[in-house]
Amino acid sequence: MKAHASPQPSATLALNTLLTTHPEIEGLTWSIDTLGTLCGEQKGMEGRGRIIDDCAQILGGTPVHVRVDGGGVVERVTVWRGVPVQVWVSYSAPAPRRKLGTILPAAGAR
């Protein structure tokens, strides 16, 4: 690659290959930054970061799971096919379960 050439085309090709050969890693939002890093992210409660474990099997390495107050963040940073890749998920803790028939106080009640 020439010194002045953009790294984004390589990342675009890598993303196309990744999504074509591994459609099972759906649910991530993908972007390519100006430095050519392929970035995948997901925010929500479902899965608790398991998709990053799936990505690690494809991309290699071990994801880092950080749990805080029942929620957490899972991240994986690697190089795949010569392209830097950062994949992460953040999730919140699910609402606590209440026993069936529990009566909640009205808003503003003490």
The domain tally of the chain equals 1
Q: Which two tokens stand for residue 91?
A: 């999730």
Structural domain including 27 reads: 8-91
Residue 14 confidence (pLDDT):
93
Residue 18 confidence (pLDDT):
93
Tell me whether residue 83 is in a domain: yes
Tell me whether residue 33 is in a domain: yes
Tell me the three-class secondary structure of 34-71, residue by residue: CCCCEEEEEECCHHHHHHHHHHHHHHCCCCEEEEECCE
Residue 32 confidence (pLDDT):
94
Q: Report whether 75 contacts 87 (CB < 8 A).
A: yes
Residue 36 confidence (pLDDT):
92
Tell me whether residue 105 is in a domain: no
pLDDT, one tens digit for every residue, the chain (110 residues): 455 667 888 999 999 999 999 988 888 899 999 999 999 998 876 667 788 888 888 988 778 888 777 778 888 899 999 999 999 888 776 666 666 766 666 655 55
Tell me whether residue 100 is in a domain: no
Tell me whether residue 57 is in a domain: yes
> Taking the CA of residue 78 as centre, how many other CA atoms within 13 Å lie in the half-sphere pointing to its CB?
19
What is the pTM (predicted TM-score) of this model? 0.72
